[in-house]
Structure formats: C-alpha cells, structure tokens
Amino acid sequence: MALYSVKMRASENGRHISGAEGIVSDWQAHRCIDQMLRRGWGHPKGRPDLLNVKVEQVREEEILYLDALPVCTVEVKDADEGREEIRKFLASLSLGNAEGVMKLLSETYAMRGAMLLDVDTLTRLEPDKERGIRATYMDGRRDGRAILSGGKDPYQEAVVLATKVANAPNVIGEICISDDPGYVTGYVASKALGYRRVTKVKEPGSEHGGRIFLYRGGKEDVGQTIAYLEKQPVIVRNVRPLGPKEKAQGKWGFVEEGLRRLKEENLERGMKAIQTPQSSVIRCRDRELLMLASNNYLEMSCREEVKQYAAQALLTYGTGSGGSRLTSGNLELHEALEQKIASFKEAESALALNTGYVANLAVISALMGKGDVIFSDELNHASIIDGCRLSGAQVVVYRHNDMEDLERKVRTFPCRKGLAVSDAVFSMDGDILRLPEFVRIADRHGLISMVDEAHSTGVIGRTGRGVVEHYKGVCRPDICMGTLSKAIGSEGGFVCGSARLIEYIRQKARGFIFSTSLSPAALASSIKALEVLLSHPELVVSLRENVSFFCQCLREGGYAASSETAIVPILIGDEKKALEASEALFEEGYFISAIRYPTVSRGSARLRAALMATHTKEQLKRAAEAILRIGRQKGAFL
C-alpha cells in the first residue's frame, strides 16, 4: 500500500495562518486533503489568499516507526515557576551553561522554525538563522488511525513532533514554548525524560514562543541531524489524547472531562421535546415549526388507517409480546409482517428484528467472524460499522461509493469468506449506491453482498420498493436489510434474502435470539403501512417532486443542491456554525438538524434537510429561502 505525506499551509499576505501535515495511506489521502483544506480555509485567524497543499509519496521502507514519548504534566502556578522547570530540565542534562541556553530562548521568538544549539559551545547550527530548522514529515497513529490530519489537537501534534525530535541523532533534548497567544502550556522533552508538559511557561496573551533543539556532538554530524529532522519520514505509534486527571477527580472525573470536551468542541448534543405527532408541521417548545428533520418521509406514522389498525392490535393482543421469538414471543402478527416484507421486497424470505440498528449488528455478526473480510463503504451507517466490529472479521474500508476502489481492495485482500456491505441510500449525504457494479464485483469475487435500505425503502424506486427497483430490477444483492422506523413510520428492523439464509440468521443471530420481540402495536402499524404504501404509490411521487422542487429553490438561491432521495445535505463545515444556523432556523420556525461528528467526519458538519411527501411547495420555498439567508449570515457556505 502506498503512503503519502500530505502538507497544508495557508497564508494571507504572506502571514502564516495555519498549517498541518500527516502521512496517510493512498485510500485515506483524499479525505485527509479535504480535511486540511477545510482547516486552512476556515481558520479563525483569517481567510487565506494562498492555500498550498503538497502531496508526496513516501516509501513504506523509508519510514521510521517510533513509540510516543511517555508524558507527564507538571502543574505550575505561574510563568516564573514554569521557567524554573525548564532550568531543572537543563540541569538534568548536565549542561555547562544552562543560563546561556535560557538567554538564547528569546532569540527564537522571531524564527519560524527551531534553533539548533550546540549545548557545549552555545553555537547556533542552523544554516539559515531566520528560518531555523523545521521538523517535518511525520504523523502519529492511535489504534491504526492517522491523527495529525484528523483534526486540530495541539497537544497530540506536539507529542508527535517531540518524539521525532527526541530520537534525532545527537539531539539530547528540546524546549518548546508556543507562539500562540492563547496557549501558555509548553514542554521540555528528551528520550530519557519523556515529554514533560509544563502548564505555564509564559504570560497569557504573549506571542513570544519558540523552540530549541539541544545538540551535543561533532560539527561533522550536524548535517545528518538536520537531514533527519527535515526529511526522515516518521510515524509515531501509540499517541494518546491528553487524559483527564482521572485520579485527582475521583472515579467520575472522566465523565466531567468528557462532557466538558464535547461542549468545548461544539459537539455536545441536545434534545428538543416535540409536543405533537411527527407530521410536516409540529409544535416544540410551545411554538409551531416546519419539520425538516424527520425520517417519517411519508407521514405514515400519522395516517388514520395505520393508527386504527395498530390500536386494534393493541386492544386484541395487549401491550407487549412477552418473550423472544424463539420462546414465547412469536405472535401470528410477526409472521404476517415477515410475509408482507418479503413480498414487498420481492425476496424469498424475511425476518423482523427490533430495530434497524440491531438488524445490522445481528446479521453481520452472525454471518462473519474471525478470519473473514468485510468490505465496507467509508460512509456506511454506524450500525454497519458496529456490526462489523462485533463480528471480529477484518474490516477493509473503501472510498465512498467508489467501485473501482472496492474492486482494488477486494483484489488486495483475497479471502475465503467475505462480505461487501453498503448503505443503499447514504444517510447523511443522500446519494444512492452504485448497485449494479457493487453486486457485480461481489459476485465476481464470491463475496456476499448486503445493502442497508433504511433510507431507500418507501423513497426510491417507482413504487418505493427501494434500490433494486430504482435500478429497474437489473441486479439484486444477496441481502437487503432495512428499518420499519423511517418511511414505514413504525418501529423495527428487517432482513430479506433466501429462505436458507434467513433460517441461518434465525438460528444464529444473537440480536434476534436474546431480545424480546416487537410489540403488537408496532407490528400492526408496519403491516398496515406496507399495505398503504402499495395502494398509494402517489405518496412516493409527491416526496420525489418535493425534493426536486426544494433542490431547485436552493439552486435558484445559489446553492448547488441535488438529491434523488429524501435527504438534502447543506454542507457547512464548521461545527459551531452549523449549530448556530440550526438554532437560528429554529427561532424562525424551521426544525432542521445540524449533523456533526461523529455522525459525519470532523469539519464536514451540515444541515440535513429531510423532506416529507406532505410538505407543500409554499412551505419548501420559504424554508429554502430561510436556509440560504441564515447560512449566508453565518458566513457558512463553503
């Protein structure tokens, strides 16, 4: 697998705004570049007029793998105490002239790179004194993931850099003070001592920062040290995020710290209690709002005949099923629903599970295990990801909806038993799987093919039967799973396939076996909703027309929207701006969700409009105008 060094630098009028780098594998490179571009583009310091992204291949055998330096934190009460810590560090290196080194710190303030200092003679060794030495070509890994390109964490970046520097030939230590006026924490590091964070090394607001690499060795070896620092690709393993001080805070410290971090990163989530049924207009916090965030695409959960049928089942069979399916909880309603689903999906057999989430966990972990390989789209739903993890199989992630990449990965990771799995409609982007190629590749390589129809059932295909119908029945995956909680308006998950496959899942899937089965009212509403869908194909048509009209309104307003499904993402990028836009829209009477990490990757936060068949054109037109206006006010559109 090829690896690439990716570097980004953003500047305005020659002034440095932001920079980032990483070393990633070829299939991660496009995402990494994308994230870096967003980072450079959306930096609070300003809008760059020059954004430079450099991508270079690095050979695997050139890479030096290092373990992250051990970290400890020294709490100090002020910058004076912090400087005392630096002196102690220098003393531990038994330098002849530690005070001389301290004095030279101020000479680094104007430099972009670091000073390389001969500690015995106090000679500066950088060939270019203004530029200094730049340690570069590095990244860190945690659980196999590249961390430098993943998002801004000055602490983890510093650990990666310090680890590389501490391992440089003839470098005996490093002193670092950040030039960021808001960041007063500094560090000293050496291979022997590890990475010592010092909580205050300068006054808040001060831009006086710099670094010194402490060199001890012959003059003839300086070139080798500089070449290592500036050219040697290094990957630092086991970089840990800055741990909360769990011990000091008692056993619940991690809870407080976890919540604090979410808030700080604008990733905290809130819930709004809705006071009405989930229709196109709702009440929430005592105000009326246009619902643009519901998966109840066909307003099925509010339909009179569905509610009546469910109420009747509730009165007939009671509130709960009383057991799991394989014990006492198998009602005739379960079997009736499964027949309906199988017929609707034109499958030999179907099985109902408690939710779509459980269906993915149960099915994937029943079919795949250790030694097997699962090929999974990078934007697959969390329930697929969790199912893959639970299975214990090797998971190979391929680029989003990129069938060439899937084929390449399938060839690279041959397996005795394998699964290719994908959302049919991607839940946060609203695009549709390239099913014919997907199935062809799986078939050609003997893989089981599986699609998740959560957002395609009741939405795509002429009569709402989903992705197979969308492609006019030219191909069919081995397994279709889906949910009854979205367009079907009820609750539950399902899986369809051959009779033998379904029998196997029934016998093996723990999420099916060890959980109480669906309740009568949920079963009955799903049964009725499927009947309604079959007899009212105009619902699907209305939904499709609404989406196309809404996208057209957005396009006329200058935002390039398009979607063939019920989901219209409006990309914003920054988490905070997305959240503010969603709140401002709420104030104006529009209920629309801001989708953020971890549902989507960091820096790709968005408003996710979900349309319903029952929205009127007038409502959608006004909504599109409001979204565009507020989006622009927030300076949000990329």
Ligand X SMILES: *Cc1c(COP(=O)(O)O)cnc(C)c1O
455 is catalytic: yes
Beta strands in 147-226 (DSSP E): 171-177, 186-190, 194-198, 210-215
Under rule CB under 6 A, which residues in 110-129 are in contact with ligand X?
none
Instruction: Give the helix ranges, DSSP H, for 413-537.
Output: 435-444, 467-470, 499-508, 510-513, 520-535
Cα dihedral 542/544/547/551 (nearest 10): -130
Beta bridge partners of 74: 198
Under a CB-based contact definition with an 8 Å cutoff, are residues 287 and 293 in contact? no
Q: Which stretch binds ligand X (CB under 6 A): 265-273, 349-357, 522-530, 580-588?
A: 349-357
Q: Does 454 bind ligand X (CB under 6 A)?
A: yes
Q: Cα–Cα distance between 55 and 8 in angstroms, integer?
A: 9
Q: Which is nearer to ligand X, 156 or 565 (CB)?
A: 565
Torsional class of 144: left (φ above 0), alpha (ψ -120 to 50), beta (otherwise): left
Q: Is 455 in the site for ligand X (CB under 6 A)?
A: yes
User: Smaller CB distance to ligand X: residue 42 or 492?
Assistant: 492
Structural contact between residues 184 and 173, judged by C-beta atoms closer than 8 angstroms:
no
Of the residues 357, 494, 512, 591, which one makes contact with ligand X according to CB under 6 A: 357
Among 194, 461, 493, 569, the residue binding ligand X under the rule CB under 6 A is 493
Catalytic residue among 486, 528, 577, 615: 486
16 tagged catalytic: no
Member of 294, 296, 485, 490 binding ligand X (CB under 6 A): 485
Q: Is 466 in the site for ligand X (CB under 6 A)?
A: no
Q: Which of 381, 399, 465, 596 binds ligand X (CB under 6 A)?
A: 381
Kindly report each contact of residues 304-309 with a partner whose C-beta sits within 8 Å and lies 24 or more positions away, as own/partner: 305/528, 305/532, 306/489, 306/490, 306/525, 306/528, 306/529, 306/532, 307/525, 309/524, 309/525, 309/527, 309/528
Question: Exactly one of 190, 349, 383, 427 is catalytic; which is it?
Answer: 427
Write down the catalytic residue from 455, 470, 528, 615.
455
Query: Which two structure tokens, joined as six digits, stand for 599?
Result: 């549902």
d(CA 377, CA 410): 12
Determine, following the binding rule CB under 6 A, whether residue 431 of this chain makes contact with ligand X. Answer: no
7 or 381, CB closer to ligand X?
Answer: 381
* Contacts with 319 (C-beta within 8 Å, 6 or more apart), sequence order: 519, 520, 521
Nearer to ligand X (CB atom), residue 108 or residue 355: 355
Candidate segments 439-447, 450-458, 526-534, 589-597, binder of ligand X by CB under 6 A: 450-458
Tell whether residue 490 is a contact of ligand X (CB under 6 A).
Answer: no
Residue nearer to ligand X on the CB measure, 357 or 375: 357
Listed in sequence order, the residues at least 6 apart from 180 whose beta carbon sits closer than 8 Å to its beta carbon are 154, 207, 209
Beta bridge partners, 4, equal 24, 57
One residue of 174, 423, 431, 575 binding ligand X per CB under 6 A: 423
Site string for ligand X, 298-337 (x = CB under 6 A): ----------------------------------------
- Give strand pairing partners of 160: none
Both tokens assigned to 361 = 């966990």
Task: Give me the least distance between CB of 360 and ligand X, in Å please.
Answer: 6
Find the binding residues for ligand X in span 268-297 (CB under 6 A). Answer: none
| Interaction of residue 372 with ligand X, rule CB under 6 A | no
Nearer to ligand X, 429 or 452 (CB): 452
Residue carrying the six token digits 């081995």:
478
Q: Which residue has the closest beta carbon to ligand X?
A: 356
CA distance 608 to 293: 7
Q: Select the span of 85-93, 237-245, 353-361, 521-529 touching ligand X (CB under 6 A).
A: 353-361
| Given 294, 365, 449, 483, the residue binding ligand X (CB under 6 A) | 483
Q: Tell which one of 163, 178, 355, 563 touches ligand X (CB under 6 A).
A: 355
Residue 480 or 554 having the CB closest to ligand X: 480
**Min separation Cβ 295 and ligand X, Å:** 7
User: Which one of 46-54, 75-83, 355-363, 560-568 is the stretch in contact with ligand X (CB under 6 A)?
Assistant: 355-363
Question: For residues 148 and 157, is the Cβ–Cβ distance under 8 A?
Answer: yes
Residue nearer to ligand X on the CB measure, 170 or 401? 401
139 versus 452: smaller Cβ distance to ligand X: 452
Q: How far is the CB of 183 from ligand X (least distance, A)?
A: 40
Query: What does the alpha-carbon distance between residue 637 and residue 635 come to, in Å, rounded to a whole number?
Result: 6
Indicate whether 452 belongs to the interface with ligand X (CB under 6 A).
Answer: yes
Give the x/- contact pattern for ligand X in 75-94, rule: CB under 6 A.
--------------------
Residue with tokens 């509130």: 319
Q: Is there binding between residue 383 and ligand X (CB under 6 A)?
A: yes
Closer residue to ligand X in complex, CB, 137/426: 426
CB-based burial label for 296 (10 Å; 0-12, 13-18, 19+): buried
Q: What is the C-alpha separation between 145 and 106, in angstroms, rounded?
A: 37
User: Could you give the CA distance from residue 561 to residue 467 in angstroms, rounded to a whole number?
Assistant: 21
Question: Looking only at Cα atoms, what is the longest distance across the chain?
Answer: 93
The stretch near ligand X (CB under 6 A) out of 199-207, 337-345, 448-456, 513-521 is: 448-456
- Name which of residues 11 to 50 contact ligand X (CB under 6 A): none
Query: For residues 295 and 614, which CB has a smaller minimum distance to ligand X in the complex?
Result: 295
Encoded tokens for 489: 């308006």
The stretch near ligand X (CB under 6 A) out of 72-80, 320-328, 352-360, 552-560 is 352-360
Please give the Cα distance from 396 to 418 (Å, whole number). Answer: 11
Q: Which is nearer to ligand X, 296 or 582 (CB)?
A: 296
CA 553: distance to chain centroid? 29
486 annotated active-site: yes
Minimum Å gap between C-beta 453 and ligand X is 8
Q: Smallest gap, in angstroms, from Cβ of residue 107 to ligand X?
A: 57
Using rule CB under 6 A, residue 582 touches ligand X: no
Size of the site for ligand X (CB under 6 A): 14
- The one among 150, 356, 418, 573 contacting ligand X by CB under 6 A: 356
Q: Which residues contact 540 (CB under 8 A, 6 or more apart)?
A: 298, 458, 459, 461, 462, 463, 464, 533, 613
Contacts of 275 by beta carbon, 8 Å cutoff, 6+ apart: 282, 283, 284, 286
Per CB under 6 A, the list member of 149, 156, 301, 427 interacting with ligand X is 427
**What are the catalytic residues?**
427, 455, 486
The binding site for ligand X (CB under 6 A) comprises 355-357, 360, 381, 383, 423, 427, 452, 454-455, 483, 485, 493
